[in-house]
A and B are shown apart, each in its own frame.
Chain A
Amino acid sequence: MIPIEKNQTKVPIKDLAKKVICEGHLFLSTKEGRKFYLMKPGVLIDPAFVKKHAPLNTVFEFCSVVDPQVKERFVTLLRELRYLQFEKDLQRKCFEIVEHFHRVYSGDDHFLSFALACYEELCGIPSELQLRMHETDMHLFRKGIYSGAFAVITAMANDYYHFTMIRDFYNLTFALDLGLCDANYSYYVAQGCNQENKFPGAGKAWMEQEHASENEIGVFLRHPEATYRLLKKAAVLSYPELAEIALYQHELSGGNGFPRGLRKGQISSWEAVVLFADSLVEISDEFTFDTRVVEYLLNHESEKLKELPVAKVHRKLSKGLRYFEGEEETGS
């Protein structure tokens, strides 16, 4: 991992404006030499920010965490996948991507390189919706960037090889929190979502315990349907029927989830792919994903996954990743 203090470069606003997502840590120095931390990696560089600094010709301190070569390699692989037709070729290409992923993220390369490659090649969410997510909470957008990328690799490891299907998984996972973008969104709603990912019913219980308002609880409980409606309206999916997955985002085993309270054995692998990827990232500014992503994924089979329908999906993912580990061991 590159230290933030070192390798800092000067980036003028006109160069930063060319990018959609911040590819590193962004600072602003005062005349006195004091530094202010402005942006985290993975945050949207919104037009208002550019508009504010463009007349001033602001020059920022920037520490990139994206490896352009890694990103370009993933971009190439995804493009190759896009133009393949036959199942065998698709399967082979997906395994190549999973293998490359394993090779890259067994070390300490930043996950953002892959996430940005996925964003460039797969994202089909309209910019106004992206901006809406960012304006509601910049961590919603940032979470979407990372969880979408996790959905891609999980889908590939779970026998989904078609580009269109993978793209739909990405967009679904990316936009899964669109339903939260409400006037009554708050810290409680975000934390409720995080808590609910741990075990069913935990989100609402936590919100009630923290004395969240009824409106906030309402936003939290209604957001699966809201996301579903927004996705249907935006028509971003090649397989429109997959929009239904948005309704499953808090449907966990035991029938304690919402909105339908589905029991174990009613959630398919395609739903589980999205749910698992979504559960990997929290709506918070804590995560950085700058060290050993593969290790993170393999060890993710924690207590919270035991009773969840995503366990099978995770098993397949870890099996796929370990397969390449085995190959490396035998190779060496």
Chain B
Amino acid sequence: MRKTERALAILNLAGALPAELAEYFAARKIPVAEPASATGAEAWSHILVRDLEDYTALEETHGLRGKDISLVSLSQPKDLRAVVAHQGHLVLDDLWLASAFGTLILDKFFQSYGGIELGDNYPAFQEKGSFNITNPFSVGDYFDRVVSQGFEEGIEALSVKTFLDHLVMYLTSLRNEEKIGMPIEVTYGAFGDVFGVQLHFFAQGLSLGDVTRALSSAPSRRPLEYYLNTAVHAADFFDFSYLASASKVIVTGLWTKDPRMAFENRGLMFSRLEAQAKLTQYPSLGESSSLVSLGGIADHSEKVVLRGTADGPLEKVTVGGARGAESKDGAITVHGLAGSEKEPATRVTGSAAAEKDAVTIVQGQAAAERDGAALVKGGPAKDADAATTVKGAGKKTAQAGAVVKGLFDEESLPPELFTGEVFPKEENVVVAGDLELPEAAYAVASEEEIKDIVTVVKGKFEEEEHVIRIAGEKLDVDKFAFRIAAGIEQEAKDNNLTLKTLGQKLPDAIKKSLGEFATVVGKSVDDLSSHELDSFKVKHLPQMVQTVVKEVSADGGLTARLRIENDKLKAQIKSLHSELKIIKDSRTQMAQIQARAVQKASEIKPKARDAEDALRREFQRKLDARKVLDDTESKKLAELLEEEGRLLREAREAEIKTKRMSLEIHQKDSFFQQELEKVQKQVKAKDFMLIKSKETFTKLLATKDKEITDLYQNVEQLTKALATNLAQLKAAAREEKQSKEPKGGDGFKVRMENETPAPNIIVTGDQASKDESRKLNILNTKLQNQVDSSKKELGKLTERASSDHALIMSLRQEKAKLEQLLKKTMAETTKEKTTASAPNDQELKRLQAQNQVLETQLRDAGVKVSTLESKILELSKQQKPVGAVDEASKVKITHLEASVKKLTMDIVESRNQGADMKKEINKLRQEKTGLQNQIEKMKKDSFKEKGAAPKKPGGGKAA
């Protein structure tokens, strides 16, 4: 497929263009129109935008989706998917434009050139290596090589690994959906400050939409989106090109050494390489890598650089055991180690930590909240066998203070340090030696605390003025140094930071150690001289620190576990608290409800009852006093009793009512349940019926379909049969014609010419005649066989006819007998019942007529059989011996064929007649049985009538 040239027409909606971009367009002579100058009739190929969030206006004005317009965003979009969904095919920041590679990207994008090799896509790229992925789960070695090459090129190669890992898994998923094919060819190389990795593969079923749909600016938990997004965001520039003509996709990831670009800027390009504009052509300098590079991979773990999160100002933090590794602007470098060389002093993060000396990175406040963050509380250590140094921001290299945790007991330190809470900035004092501290320096402890804790430590000064050092025995060894750079007041420095007091907040370990030291010296702590204090600090304190460090490092796992448990318990306590609160609330509510109920109950109490109670009490009192009740009192008592009885009745009735009600409710409930069950069953039954009916209908449909197909087949067969019959008829007609013609060689020749369909076949000589005679012989034998079989069939038919004849004869005889019987009975019954004979006569007449018809039919059939027999005899007479076959025999064979056909027709006819006769016979039999039954009935009737007739007087014999 040849590429077509494409005219570029660019509309600038991004405002003022960057100088580099304007220069680029000018140099390439690409016209860029401003919105003011646009007439609205232009067919834009590209539209430049910047900081655009709402695309509806653009969509309405230019109708992006329906047209072949590409959107170019000159700034990082907030919603990546929205940009790509609106034909956003290039996202390129100004920083990219400023670099030399920017021109290459622009050229590739605007020219739509590309190819499956790295040099085709980005000319002048120097290929460093290549490999093929056939099994995506066996690529570790290859990826290691690419990452190693990335490190050698000086880029942050961990991103390359992330890119490859995630992209290949994404592609594997697409492969399982049969959207792409294997193998995946990977090429990697470098050009100046840019390192590139390119993958290309078959993509028969993949569309650009499949990829763009999975893009999002926010991290997603959907695997397909997660893998693609991670890969896209891992690259400094992500290029997805679809080579339509070859059904291939080329994915390229680019990384730069420029830290600004890596942190602040990413680029994205989606292109469909179909059209091509002729702008610039670069000579490709790419060269293939060696296939036999089986050498080991260099260890670049010291170059591992972990980037910060996107939140807040990012400071570059370099981790490494390499001494004197220079950090860049804003970077924090932690040198040296606490404790022994091999053992980690603090928790280690990052992949390189496993192999290298333990180093802890603290990065920003956000990092301080993480598990791996190590805070140093500038507390004095009792023992200082191994000293640790925290290099602060006192130097001009602007190294901000980093902090190491783990030297002190948890109890002796404020709990905030272990809970990960960050101090409020107002209260914080930066651990740094310089008075002019950068803002990004890390706050560790409050100033007062520093005064109380840090200033008590007297250290040996090194060359740095503003750094206090508590050094161990090996003062000159950096790795055993523990520097604390803190904002210590100038006074303390002037006083050489002498240990003056133990202070209230001095850690117990140091206090205890100092106390022990004082007892050994034989003095109280306050009486210790500065010389003795120096010796304590120089000899005892580092040892103490070391032992504490060891203990802490040994208990590191335990403390971590305890911390986790602590967190869990805290969470549990929180939940318990909330539960308790809920319970308390509910209890108070309950109590309130109860109180309200009591109050209401007291309010409900009827007043009439009070009078009745008083009366009852009075009567009781009188009865107790054995007083006699007067009439009115007795009346009142009676009334009271009546009232009580009434109340009791009412109560009983109410009880009964409630019982009834409850029973009714129960019954109704059960009834409803039953009804519900019934309904459910009915629904199920209906469903079942529906399913069944569906099945039956499907079966019915299938059978109908089958029937239809059968009918179709039948029709086809019939049409075929018709065609063959027609052909036969034609042949017969031709035969008749030929039979009329005089028999001779010429006539035969003419017929042969008419009949032979292939004029190309020319058969001459003896061989041809022999073949012909052989064929005729075969045909003759076939026909003879047919005649024989037809004879046999005829024989069978004649036998059947004779048997049928015999049957008819026997039936006739029986009929005659029955007629005689009938006559007799008729004679007997005519005297008494003259009316009954009329239908029998009619029936008999009908039967006789039928018999006559049958007889005539049988006669006809016999005649036909006889004619057939005569014909067969004639044919058999006409046939000659097989051996002598000549040309005349062919004619005879055709005659024979025709006669055989006639015979078969006759046989079919006679068969049909036989079948009809059989049917008639069956009918006759049925009629015969019917007649017999009628006769028997009549006989019985006559006998009955005879029996019922009055006996003659004096007639008959005496019993």
Contact = CB atoms under 8 A, between A and B. Distances in A.
A14 interface: no
A162 B134 contact: yes
Contacts of B142: 87
A41 to B, nearest CB: 31
Interface in B86-142: 114-117, 120, 130-132, 134-135, 138-142
A86 interface: yes
A263 B135 CA distance: 29
Interface residues of B, number: 35
A159 B185 CA distance: 10
Interface string A65-103: 000000000000000000001111001000100000000
Contacts of B114: 265
Interface string B267-303: 0000000000000000000001011101000000000
A255 interface: yes
A266 interface: yes
Interface stretch (A17-25, A173-181, A202-210, A236-244): A236-244
B3 interface: yes
Contacts of B479: none
Contacts of A158: 132, 291
Nearest to A89: B138
B116 A268 contact: yes
B750 interface: no
Contacts of A10: none
A319 B132 contact: no
Nearest to A163: B134
B248 interface: yes
A320 B183 contact: no
Given A162-B135, A241-B204, A312 B245 contact: no
Given A261-B2, A265-B117, A165 B134 contact: yes
Nearest to A326: B292
Contacts of A161: 134
A261 B182 contact: no
A255 B291 CA distance: 29
A244 B202 contact: yes
Contact of A244 (B120, B134, B243, B247): B247
B291 A316 contact: yes
B120 A160 contact: no
Of the four ranges (under 10, 10 to 19, 20 to 34, 35 or more), the interface on chain A belongs to 35 or more
Contacts of A266: 115-116, 243, 245-246, 248
Given A87-B139, A260-B1, A262-B245, A268 B185 contact: yes
Interface in A255-301: 255, 260-270
Given A157-B291, A319-B292, A268 B134 contact: no
A86 B138 contact: yes
A323 interface: yes
B281 to A, nearest CB: 12
A159 B246 contact: no
A270 B292 contact: no
A218 to B, nearest CB: 22
B483 interface: no
B181 interface: yes
Given A261-B2, A268-B116, A159 B132 contact: yes
Given A239-B181, A266-B245, A267-B116, A91 B294 contact: yes
A162 B247 CA distance: 24
Given A268-B248, A270-B183, A263 B138 contact: no
B805 to A, nearest CB: 64
Contacts of B115: 264-266
A53 interface: no
A312 B288 contact: yes
A87 B138 contact: yes
B200 interface: yes
B147 to A, nearest CB: 16
Nearest to B200: A268
Contact of A159 (B131, B135, B181, B202): B131
Contacts of B291: 157-159, 316, 319-320, 323
A315 interface: yes
A268 B116 CA distance: 7
A249 to B, nearest CB: 14
Contacts of B202: 241, 244
Nearest to A320: B291
Contact of B290 (A95, A162, A260, A319): A319
8 contacts: A95-B292, A241-B204, A260-B246, A265-B115, A266-B116, A268-B248, A269-B132, A323-B291
Q: Which 6 A-B pairs have the closest CB atoms?
A: A265-B115, A241-B181, A266-B246, A265-B120, A162-B134, A87-B138
Interface of B: 1-3, 114-117, 120, 130-132, 134-135, 138-142, 181-183, 185, 200, 202, 204, 243, 245-248, 288, 290-292, 294
Given A87-B142, A95-B292, A265-B116, 14 more contacts: A87-B135, A159-B291, A162-B134, A165-B134, A165-B182, A241-B182, A241-B202, A244-B204, A262-B245, A262-B246, A265-B115, A312-B288, A316-B291, A319-B290
